[in-house]
Amino acid sequence: MTQDRLSEKRFVSEQGLTVAPFRAVDSLADLEAAVAALGRPSVLKTRRFGYDGKGQVKILPETDLAEAYEAIGGSPAVLEGFVTFAREVSVVAARGADGSFAAFDLCENEHRDHILAFTRIPAQVSAATEAAAIEAARRIGAALGYVGVFAVEMFVVGEGAGESVVVNEIAPRVHNSGHWTSEGAQTSQFHQHVRAVCGFPLGSAARRGRVEMENLIGDAALRWRDLLAEPGAHLHLYGKREARPGRKMGHVTRVVPEQG
Ligand SMILES: Nc1ncnc2c1ncn2[C@@H]1O[C@H](COP(=O)(O)OP(=O)(O)O)[C@@H](O)[C@H]1O
Ligand SMILES: [Mg+2]
C-alpha cells in the first residue's frame, strides 16, 4: 500500500489525518484538469518507485504541462497541491505484534535538493504538535497492523496555536531520519526493529541529549578525516565506492548531553 503514493494518500486521509490535496493523473488531460483544480505551484509525482525527489516535477507558473508529464515518463502519477510548510518533521516509531508502540522524539528534517541533509532533535514545535504527530503515526501503524520500525514524514504548517501537521509519506522500514538513534537514543532504531519483529519487549526510545545528524552526500564524505578528529562526532560510512553528486555516502551524528 505504501509503495503507491495514491493508495497511500487515500489510506492516510481515511484515518482522519490531513494530507496535501491530491488528484490521480493517468493522462495529460488528467494533469491539465488536476492543475486547474489544485493550482500552481503543485508537485507531480510518479505513484511508484520515487525516492530522494526522483520521479517528481514541480509545476511552476511557467511549467509546460506536456513537458512535465514527459519528464516523469508518462507514468501513473499523482498531482499534489504545494504545501507551504514552516518545517518538515518525521516520527520514527516501532509497533509490536501485541500492539505495543514506542516512538522516538519528533525529528526535524532539513532537505537540500529534495534529499535529507540534516535531522535535529528536539524539533522546534509545540508539545501539542509533537503529541499530534506521534498520535498520527500510532494510528497509521495500528490501522496497517504494522509490526516493526516505520517512519511517517510530515509537514508542519501554521504557527503558534494554529500549528498542525500534514502527512507526506509513510516509510515502512527504518528511516534515514532515525539514524541518530544509534548514538542518540537508549535503543537504536535497528535494535528496536529486531525487537519488534522477534516479539521481544520494545526498548526505551528516550533521547540521550540534543542530537544532530548530518548526511554526507557526494563529496562531503571526503571530510572523513576531519570528522574522525572531531571529539564526540560519530562517523558512519556506507562503503559505497563512488561518490556521485546526490548520493548518500554516510552520516555523522553529534550528541550534546542536556543539563538537569
Ligand atoms: N506537496 C508538497 N509540498 C511541498 N513540498 C513538497 C511536497 N511534496 C514533496 N515536497 C518536498 O520534496 C521532498 C521529497 O518529497 P517526498 O514526497 O517525500 O518524496 P521522496 O522522499 O520519496 O523523494 C519532501 O521532503 C519535501 O521537501
Ligand atoms: Mg520523502
β-bridge mates for residue 120, sequence order: 108, 212
Q: State residue 260's pLDDT score.
A: 64
| Domain ranges across the chain | 21-81, 87-256
Residue 97's CB is within 10 A of a number of other CB atoms, namely 13
Give residue 85 CA to ligand 1 midpoint distance, Å: 11
- The fourth-level CATH superfamily of domain 87-256 is ATP-grasp fold, B domain (3.30.470.20)
Query: What percentage of the chain reaches a pLDDT higher than 90?
Result: 97
Greatest C-alpha distance within the chain: 60
46-82 pLDDT per residue, tens: 999 999 889 999 999 999 999 999 999 999 999 999 9
Q: What is the distance between the alpha carbons of residues 16 and 164, in angstroms, rounded to a whole number? A: 14
Q: How far apart are the first and last CA of the chain?
A: 44
Q: What is the distance between the alpha carbons of residues 146 and 150, in angstroms, rounded to a whole number? A: 8
> What DSSP letter does each residue of 175-201 carry, written as one string?
-GGGTTHHHHBSS-HHHHHHHHHHTPP
- The fourth-level CATH superfamily of domain 21-81 is ATP-grasp fold, A domain (3.30.1490.20)
Q: Is the CB of 218 under 6 A from ligand 1?
A: no
Q: What is the distance between the alpha carbons of residues 105 and 92, in angstroms, rounded to a whole number? A: 8
Q: What is the distance between the alpha carbons of residues 226 and 222, in angstroms, rounded to a whole number? A: 9
pTM: 0.97
Our mutation pick for probing the ligand 1 site, out of 85, 114, 165, counting the most ligand atoms within 8 A of Cβ, is 114
Q: Is 39 left (phi over 0), alpha (psi -120 to 50) or beta?
A: left
**Where do the DSSP E strands lie in 60-147?**
77-81, 87-95, 101-103, 107-112, 115-121
- 253 contacts 210 by C-beta, under 8 angstroms: no
CA of 45, closest atom in ligand 1: 17
215-259 pLDDT per residue, tens: 999 999 999 999 999 999 999 999 999 999 999 999 999 999 997
Q: State residue 259's pLDDT score.
A: 78
Q: Is the CB of 8 under 6 A from ligand 1?
A: no
Q: What is the distance between the alpha carbons of residues 233 and 195, in angstroms, rounded to a whole number? A: 27
93-114 pLDDT per residue, tens: 999 999 999 999 999 999 999 8
Residue 2's CB is within 10 A of a number of other CB atoms, namely 17
9-28 pLDDT per residue, tens: 999 999 999 999 999 999 99
Q: State residue 108's pLDDT score.
A: 98
Sheet with 77-81: list strands edge to edge.
Answer: 22-25, 77-81, 42-46, 56-59
Residue 7's CB is within 10 A of a number of other CB atoms, namely 12
Q: What is the distance between the alpha carbons of residues 157 and 162, in angstroms, rounded to a whole number? A: 8
Q: What's the burial of 252, exposed, middle or buried (CB within 10 Å: 0-12/13-18/19+)?
A: buried
Give residue 64 CA to ligand 1 midpoint distance, Å: 21
Q: What's the burial of 18, exposed, middle or buried (CB within 10 Å: 0-12/13-18/19+)?
A: middle
